[in-house]
Amino acid sequence: MTSQAARSHMSIGEVLALLQGEFPDVTISKIRFLEGEGLIEPERSPSGYRKFTHLHVEQLRFILREQRDHYLPLRVIKDRMAESFGRPRAVQENKEVRLSRAELLEAAEIDDETLTELEDYGLLAPVARRYDEEALNVARSVGALARFGLRARHLRAVKAAAERECGLVEQTVAPILKRRAPGAIGEADEVARELSTLLLDLHASLVRSGIRSVLGR
């Protein structure tokens, strides 16, 4: 059997496992956020799967250490990374995920009934009959949860919580957008991205804490 060290590509879950020893609070959402900010650029399979290399793991370690040890903003870290690893291509060069219904069903490994249920409960929706990366992520997550007997109808509370968190982001960036100053949209976008990552990390921590209580730990 080929060892993980000898493999040329890793999944995002495998990358997370490699990082959590040094950075126990890192999450998949955090890794996706850093990708969205253009600090790492994993390859994509035709179905939209991220394919990470050991270089990406080292880049992520560099970013997380700079944030943890020096409290540096991402724009400064990006410049430091350019000196250490070379400057990445623009984020816009990443291949955009646009899947048909059949492709989404195959990539997410769910059936048509489950996808219909997801759409009926407003958990995802196609745009011009195509599904983007976030729709794929939702479908995969629900597909995994289905193994525990959870269906889309059980996840309305999760959707409601996400909408409330989006409301907090909107409330925070609204004053920035109202200024109508040059660069306000860019500033609001950066704040929204960082705030959403912090909220996701907080949400994950609260869930973990609640689970420990359920288990009596």
The 10s digit of each residue's pLDDT in 46-92 is: 767 788 999 999 999 999 998 888 877 788 888 888 888 875 544 44
For position 88, what pLDDT does the model report? 52
For position 203, what pLDDT does the model report? 83
* Distance in angstroms (rounded) separating the CA atoms of residues 72 and 164: 29
For position 171, what pLDDT does the model report? 94
The neighbour count for residue 74, using CB atoms within 10 Å, is: 19
* Distance in angstroms (rounded) separating the CA atoms of residues 25 and 147: 26
Q: Is the pLDDT of residue 215 over 70?
A: yes
The neighbour count for residue 111, using CB atoms within 10 Å, is: 12
Tell me the average pLDDT of the chain.
85
Tokens 């599904």 -> residue: 131
Q: Is the pLDDT of residue 131 over 90?
A: yes
For position 197, what pLDDT does the model report? 80
Q: Is the pLDDT of residue 19 over 90?
A: yes
∠ Cα 157 15 217 (to 5°): 50
pTM over 0.85: no
Residues facing residue 121 across a β-bridge:
none
Of 91 and 176, which is predicted with more confidence? 176
For position 138, what pLDDT does the model report? 92
Q: Is the pLDDT of residue 6 over 80?
A: no
For position 168, what pLDDT does the model report? 93
Task: From residue 57, give the alpha-carbon distance in Å to each of 14, 20, 39, 155.
Answer: 10, 11, 12, 32
